[in-house]
Each structure stands twice: as C-alpha cells, then as structure tokens.
Amino acid sequence: MTGQEGTSTQPGHPRVTAHRRGDLFDPDCPTRQLLDRVGSKWTTMAVLVLAGEEGEVRFAELRRRMAGVSQKMLTQTLRSLERDGLLTRRVEPTTPPRVHYGLTRRGRSLAGPLTVLKEWAETNMAAVDDHGRRWDESAAAG
C-alpha cells in the first residue's frame, strides 16, 4: 500500500501530491512534520480555545487563556497555524490595533482529534505520573 505510486517519475499534472493521502510511516512524507506540529502543547491549546468560541478571539485573550505561554511562542504558534490554513487572522486597523483569530473549517476539523487526545492525557495523567515516580524510585534504589 505504501510506495506504489508516489515515487513514479511520470509527468502527469503538477501538484499530484495534493490529491494523495499522507502516510505517517513513509520517511519522506511531510505527514510526520505535520503531526509533530499539531500534536504539540501550544497548538493543541490554541485550537481548543478557539474551537470553544463560535466567533473569534483576540491575541491578549488567547494569551490569558493559555496561561504560561510566552508572547513569542504564542505568535509562532498562531503563525504556524495560519500558514497551515488552520486559522484566520483578522486585523482591525484601529489604534491600538486589534487582531482577531478564528479557526478555518479545516482547523475546526482538527478540534475533534485534539479533544480526544487531550481527554486521554487528562484522564491518565495521574496514573502515568505516579508510575513514573515509582519507576524513578526503584531505579535510584536498584
């Protein structure tokens, strides 16, 4: 199933890749980078905050809700999401300027998967943390 079409050198139309499905287990497939981006802490939080609102959220509000994020990391995260076509950025040309962020349709489609992952993490955090603690103790002892 994996490498039977992509590596062909046939001319065809340009941008054939746009129709192809990704394959996480193909080392040359960008799906890997994409997964690393969307699975990250700040991306998850940003998408989930924005998914909670039906409208848009301003920069400062976003920053407040994602407690602990630095201004730099928030900007980077939002830029990355915008570049990937997952969120929109709308600037109100006032002074001071107001910038509003909202999810695109595709961005909203990511909220489901991330919610599932977040819930898993929240549900299992305590047990995992506990297990790790015991692990460290027995490692230090033995």
Sign of CA dihedral 70, 71, 73, 78: positive
Sign of CA dihedral 44, 114, 122, 132: negative
Site string for DNA, 68-87 (x = CB under 7 A): -xxxxx-x--xx--------
As measured in angstroms, the least distance from the Cβ of 82 to a copy of itself is 8
Smaller CB separation from a copy of itself, 92 or 136? 136
Main-chain dihedrals φ then ψ at residue 62, nearest 5 degrees: -60, -45
Q: How far apart are CA 95 and CA 116, in angstroms?
A: 40
90 is a site residue for DNA (CB under 7 A): no
* CB hemisphere CA count around 11 (13 angstroms): 0
Smaller CB separation from a copy of itself, 11 or 27? 27
Q: Of DNA, a copy of itself, none, which one does residue 54 interact with (CB within 5 to 8 Å by kind)?
A: none
Calculate the CA 34 to chain-centre distance.
8
Residues that bind a copy of itself (CB under 8 A): 15, 17-27, 29-32, 34-36, 38-41, 44-45, 48, 65-68, 82-86, 106, 109-110, 112-114, 116-132, 135-136
Sequence-ordered list of residues with C-beta below 8 angstroms from that of 9, at least 6 positions apart, any chain: none
37 is a site residue for DNA (CB under 7 A): no
| Category of 88 on φ-ψ map: left (φ > 0), alpha (ψ -120 to 50) or beta | beta
As measured in angstroms, the least distance from the Cβ of 34 to a copy of itself is 5
Smaller CB separation from a copy of itself, 91 or 126? 126
In the complex, the residues that contact DNA under the rule CB under 7 A are 40, 58-60, 69-73, 75, 78-79, 89, 96-99
